[in-house]
């Protein structure tokens, strides 16, 4: 059975994520309606502007649906603003959106657009260094029970995992490095095999 990974197509680098999903051997689907969630095995919440994404998710009924999707054992991957959307606490006072990951995040922690940069990171669970693009990137300030820190940059947390939830401060889809999408695909395949088991 083919593996289908959705990309929430409300804002952000949707096409780039879809291309990466195809590159790692899965089918990428742009998710524009909550009804489409029933046909996919995992979902990526891309970057963009977290407040706007949150408002649109509420408007189109995605908040409860994606929470249910995650609670049913389907993997979710948030990149940049997607990381903020997954967190249960946002330091700016912005209301939490999905409240799925036990972490406190800081918006624009790495500065404005002009402070955007690219670097190479060591990520737990991925054997080779990973290219990462930071654009107005958030930061994971504090993690709670159940969170595994996967990567840091200058001692600041930029990637984490909680069970079948994955979050990065950076944009892996804006490079030609498919390592993180391969890692997420593996999470999806493992969740599918445990469902069958």
* Catalytic center residues: 80, 171, 173
**In this structure, how many other beta carbons lie within 10 angstroms of the beta carbon of residue 116?**
15
Helix (H, G, I), strand (E, B) or coil at 14: helix
Distances (CA, A) of 18 to 26, 65, 88, 141: 9, 21, 27, 29
* Distance separating alpha carbons of residues 175 and 168, to the nearest angstrom: 14
* Distance separating alpha carbons of residues 17 and 45, to the nearest angstrom: 9
**In this structure, how many other beta carbons lie within 10 angstroms of the beta carbon of residue 120?**
12
Q: Which residue has the tokens 């088991």?
A: 197
* Distance separating alpha carbons of residues 5 and 178, to the nearest angstrom: 14
* Distance separating alpha carbons of residues 71 and 174, to the nearest angstrom: 29
Identify whether the C-beta of residue 115 lies closer than 8 Å to the C-beta of residue 100. no
* Distance separating alpha carbons of residues 62 and 83, to the nearest angstrom: 16
């Amino acid at each position: 059975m083919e593996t289908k990974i959705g990309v929430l197509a409300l804002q952000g680098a949707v096409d780039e994520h879809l291309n990466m999903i195809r590159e790692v051997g899965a089918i990428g689907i742009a998710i524009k309606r909550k009804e489409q969630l029933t046909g996919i095995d995992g979902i990526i919440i891309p970057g963009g502007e977290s407040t706007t994404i949150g408002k649109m998710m509420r408007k189109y009924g995605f908040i409860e649906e994606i929470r249910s999707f995650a609670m049913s054992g389907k993997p979710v991957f948030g990149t940049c603003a997607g990381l903020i959307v997954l967190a249960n606490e946002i330091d700016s006072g912005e209301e939490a959106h999905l409240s799925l990951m036990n972490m406190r995040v800081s918006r624009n922690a790495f500065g404005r657009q002009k402070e955007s940069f690219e670097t190479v990171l060591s990520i737990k669970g991925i054997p080779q260094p990973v290219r990462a693009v930071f654009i107005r990137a958030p930061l994971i300030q504090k993690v709670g029970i159940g969170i595994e820190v996967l990567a840091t940059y200058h001692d600041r947390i930029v990637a984490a995992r909680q069970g079948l939830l994955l979050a990065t401060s950076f944009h892996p889809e804006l490079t030609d490095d498919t390592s993180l999408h391969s890692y997420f695909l593996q999470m999806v395949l493992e969740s599918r095999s445990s469902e069958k088991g």
